[in-house]
Structure 1
Amino acid sequence: MNEHEMTEKAILVGCQLPHVTDERFQYSMEELASLTKTAGGEAVSVMTQKRNRQDSATYIGKGKVEELEVLCEEFECDVIIFNDELSPSQLKSLATALDVKIIDRTQLILDIFAKRARTREGKLQIELAQLQYALPRLSGQGISLSRQGGGIGARGPGETKLETDRRHIRNRIHEINGQLSTVKEHRTRYRERRKKNGVFQIAIVGYTNAGKSTLFNQLTDADSHEEDLLFATLDPMTRKMTLASGYSVLISDTVGFIQDLPTTLIAAFRSTLEEVKEADYLLHVIDSSNEDYEGHERTVHELLEELEADRIPMLTVYNKEDQIRPDFIPSSKHRHLLISARREEDVKRLKADIMAELKQNFLKPYHVKIPAYEGKLISALKSETLVESLEFQKEAELYDITGFSGEEQTILGQIKKYML
């Protein structure tokens, strides 16, 4: 956060419905406090209520709204943040009853994304999601949607007075969709080229703040943004990872998943998360020091299912072993490893595990004898396939090579005549 930005004082409000357990509700409210901190706010008070269903007009009961008014004066709060997505009518009623900025969980997450987007595509995705969220909520929001006020919930599509012109928003949504489809075409072409070259692709997925970027940096020597905040990484990053023997694969770091991810965001970020769908293998990173690690794991699996990426082979990586909870028990149905991403020996162990998995389930063995004059081909084999052994037979002036390669790699056609 910029030193000139003031920390906003926030009151958090949650409504617990019968189907939500006390434990899950508590984690959800704690997560809302973390999201608030990430957005540059500080939770000064928390108000919760158990109800059979949300109040259709004000989310919480009328009595609670009056209590909230008193709390606002007492703490001189700048913003009230609700733990669910508010309907347009709830937002309007609350804005009328309370003389303070009101935002919901969806707006808060969109705001963090707006703050963290770096690439043109990321910024477009965010603007699209914010406009789609804003469109049905224009009436009764007053200044908070005009983007004239600062602070949480006020980042994004610049200084446009959103509430004055629905047509302007619809036109802008249409325009962004057009720009995004161009970006998507480029990304699709790039992915097709990678597939054609037979490059093995791995995607790192996991709940936000599980340590994905730390692991990504250790595996690739990249400098993806690392921070102990939710959604530290937003824009997908793909780098080369070199395994033993010099064999290279591509690995992508992705945006963190979160429970109750706004539907506008899932739709807007579908193309960003396409990296996950296109991967040959997933590394699912879980923070083993978090009390709700099982809930996080469940959320990721549900979202992968929604993205139709739940059938991709996966290795579960329980991270932060150095801070592990005494009651921790691995809950994954998939193969799993327990590591600390900051320990070099653990990263080597993970790379060795990926290598073994590649040989066993993804690559096909080959054995060739190639004449010494085919230097270019031998060099290509070393960089494009996983070479196990390479022996020069002096008398025959041949290289005896064994290794593993992908089934669709173009180099297989070139070495076919030398296969044993």
Structure 2
Amino acid sequence: MTSDGTAERAVLVGAPSIDTPQEAVDEHLEELTRLAGTAGADVRSVVIQRLGRPNASTYIGKGKVEQLARALRDHDATLAIFDDELTPAQGANLESALGVRALDRTELILDIFALRARTAEAKLQVELAQLQYLRTRLKRMWTHLSREGGGIGARGPGEQQIETDRRLIDRRLARLRRKLDHIATARVTQRRARREQFTVALVGYTNAGKSSILRGLSGAEVFVEDRLFATVDSATRICDLEGPGPILLTDTVGFIRKLPHHLIASFRATMEEISEAGLLLHVIDASAPAWEAQRDAVEAVLEEVGVTDRPVLQVFNKIDRLTHEEERALRERTAAGMRSHVLTSVVEERGLDPLREALKAAMRARLETVRVSLPAGDGARLAEAYREGEVLERAYEAGHVVILARVPAGVAGRWRESGLVVEQADAA
């Protein structure tokens, strides 16, 4: 958006390698168009050049730069958006040649995150990523970021303004990291407090439907919009599966192809939620033509952040958008694979039932089945059995309540230490 609230007019630039299939080129530019729209830009045209390797000075060739300049003039555009990351030198050279701002994919995604962040933590994380990106590009993006520490008499002899700005950025980065460290410490405390609870994390490509699934399972109000990066804030809700106790379900930030490394590093607290979850639900938009590439992009990010040892359930979402033939082909294909999966829809009646049943099974697998004898007046432990697990049988014997229950290992351990466990039973 411009300062007067009108949408910026943009020309998109794709520079795929010469061996990239045309279908992939079209998909990538469609995604870039949606990203630009999310950021508030009005896309007027697209310029494409296939490259053997990027031009060191301007990323695209000299002739293509001239074509891009004409397209910008013809469409009265104020912005050129590249689908790849530009070096500081390439960005500066392009802006000089084009006479308008040249944004790369990383800057565009960072701008969207800044626009969409709502919680204090997300805002800190986005600012950290933006400053890390900006620090190496001060020569192109020079501006006074703050008056703090600047002004007459505040700079050393011969010190350039760019050095002052870099030092200001370093100070701000240090403060942001300290604040995020405090948040990370608080998260550790929170995770310890809920150690006995079954925690599940939703991961997936942006706009795959994670927030819709969270809302559908929990019944809680969660912001949902059919837009890339509709929300960048993590959210945790309690979900009652009407079976073996509640689960804690966390919606995490959506991933995307070429997700900026600075952003991944900044969202480390969210990534820790993923790394310590008992189960990952990898939500895949089954209606997306490129769902396999999107799945691979998510798995690449998980591998990059070191989350490779968590059990994963693949959730093929939005099957309501498939034709009968497409759904049948998907079911046959997934059935032939080795990975655990379910097919879901948040708009069809009972469309989330397969996921609910899969979550119940996953939770039951981590519970211990024990028979305990509780004094008839011990309502607290009886309530704990119903709250934390699943009571399978209940009988009264000589002033005691004898129950067969599936409960978390921690609960079973406490009961065992108190001498309440009558027998360790096989899972029913």
TM-score of the pair, normalised by structure 1: 0.90
Shift of 1:416: 4.2
Shift of 1:18: 4.0
CA separation in 2, counterparts of 1:249 and 1:205? 16
Percent identity between matched residues is 38
CA separation in 2, counterparts of 1:163 and 1:334? 53
Amino acid at match of 2:296: R
Q: Structure 1 residues 249, 38: closer, same or farther in 2, change over 3 A?
A: same
Shift of 1:369: 2.3
Shift of 1:285: 1.0
Q: Which moved more, 1:18-27 or 1:5-14?
A: 18-27
Q: Which residue of 1 aligns with 2:403?
A: 401
1:352 maps to 2:357: yes
For 1:286, which of 284, 287, 296 is the aligned residue?
Answer: 284
Shift of 1:342: 2.4
CA separation in 1, counterparts of 2:297 and 2:339? 15
CA separation in 1, counterparts of 2:267 and 2:393? 43
For 1:210, which of 208, 211, 220 is the aligned residue?
Answer: 208
CA separation in 1, counterparts of 2:65 and 2:120? 40
Q: Structure 1 residues 249, 291: closer, same or farther in 2, change over 3 A?
A: same
- Tell me, yes or no, if the aligned pair for 2:395 and 2:402 is still in contact at 8 Å: yes
Q: Structure 1 residues 223, 4: closer, same or farther in 2, change over 3 A?
A: farther
Q: Which residue of 1 aligns with 2:341?
A: 336
CA offsets 1:343-387 (integer angstroms, 9 cap, x no match): 34122332122112222x322211122221222211111112222
- Tell me, yes or no, if the aligned pair for 1:146 and 1:162 is still in contact at 8 Å: no
Q: Which residue of 1 aligns with 2:372?
A: 368
SS in 2 for 1:167: helix
Q: Structure 1 residues 403, 2: closer, same or farther in 2, change over 3 A?
A: farther
Amino acid at match of 1:183: I
CA offsets 1:139-174 (integer angstroms, 9 cap, x no match): 13357x979xxxxxxxxxxxxx98961111111111
1:299 maps to 2:290: no
- Tell me, yes or no, if the aligned pair for 1:235 and 1:272 is still in contact at 8 Å: no
- Tell me, yes or no, if the aligned pair for 2:320 and 2:347 is still in contact at 8 Å: no
- Tell me, yes or no, if the aligned pair for 2:134 and 2:141 is still in contact at 8 Å: no
Shift of 1:397: 2.7
- Tell me, yes or no, if the aligned pair for 2:373 and 2:420 is still in contact at 8 Å: no
- Tell me, yes or no, if the aligned pair for 1:12 and 1:47 is still in contact at 8 Å: yes
Q: Structure 1 residues 260, 163: closer, same or farther in 2, change over 3 A?
A: farther
Q: Which moved more, 1:373-382 or 1:329-338?
A: 329-338
Q: Structure 1 residues 287, 389: closer, same or farther in 2, change over 3 A?
A: same
CA offsets 1:80-120 (integer angstroms, 9 cap, x no match): 10001100110111111111111110000000000011111
Q: Which residue of 1 aligns with 2:157?
A: none
- Tell me, yes or no, if the aligned pair for 1:139 and 1:163 is still in contact at 8 Å: no
Amino acid at match of 1:30: E
CA separation in 2, counterparts of 1:146 and 1:82? 25
1:51 maps to 2:51: yes
CA separation in 2, counterparts of 1:245 and 1:105? 45
Q: Which residue of 2 aligns with 1:80?
A: 80
Shift of 1:3: 13
For 1:224, which of 201, 222, 225 is the aligned residue?
Answer: 222
SS in 2 for 1:312: coil
Shift of 1:4: 7.0
CA separation in 2, counterparts of 1:182 and 1:357? 33
1:378 maps to 2:382: yes
CA separation in 1, counterparts of 2:393 and 2:131? 57
- Tell me, yes or no, if the aligned pair for 1:371 and 1:397 is still in contact at 8 Å: yes
How many residues are aligned here?
Answer: 401
CA separation in 2, counterparts of 1:124 and 1:386? 41
| Unaligned stretches of 5+ residues in structure 2 | 147-160, 424-428
Q: Which residue of 1 aligns with 2:393?
A: 389
| Unaligned stretches of 5+ residues in structure 1 | 148-160
- Tell me, yes or no, if the aligned pair for 1:82 and 1:104 is still in contact at 8 Å: yes
- Tell me, yes or no, if the aligned pair for 1:224 and 1:233 is still in contact at 8 Å: no
Shift of 1:333: 4.2
SS in 2 for 1:403: strand
- Tell me, yes or no, if the aligned pair for 1:257 and 1:300 is still in contact at 8 Å: yes
CA separation in 1, counterparts of 2:201 and 2:133? 29
Amino acid at match of 1:133: Y
For 1:200, which of 194, 198, 201 is the aligned residue?
Answer: 198
CA separation in 1, counterparts of 2:380 and 2:141? 66
- Tell me, yes or no, if the aligned pair for 2:371 and 2:403 is still in contact at 8 Å: yes
Q: Which residue of 1 aligns with 2:108?
A: 108
CA separation in 2, counterparts of 1:79 and 1:95? 10
Q: Which residue of 2 aligns with 1:154?
A: none
Q: Which residue of 1 aligns with 2:426?
A: none
CA separation in 2, counterparts of 1:343 and 1:411? 42
- Tell me, yes or no, if the aligned pair for 2:244 and 2:363 is still in contact at 8 Å: no
CA separation in 2, counterparts of 1:163 and 1:82? 28
1:42 maps to 2:47: no
CA separation in 2, counterparts of 1:227 and 1:74? 33
CA separation in 1, counterparts of 2:395 and 2:349? 31
TM-score of the pair, normalised by structure 2: 0.88
- Tell me, yes or no, if the aligned pair for 2:243 and 2:360 is still in contact at 8 Å: no
> Where in structure 2 are the equivalents of 1:226-305 lying within 5 Å?
226-245=224-243, 247-305=245-303
CA offsets 1:167-219 (integer angstroms, 9 cap, x no match): 11111111111111111111111112211xx1110011111001110110011
Q: Structure 1 residues 20, 267: closer, same or farther in 2, change over 3 A?
A: farther
Shift of 1:294: 0.8
Q: Which residue of 1 aligns with 2:28?
A: 28
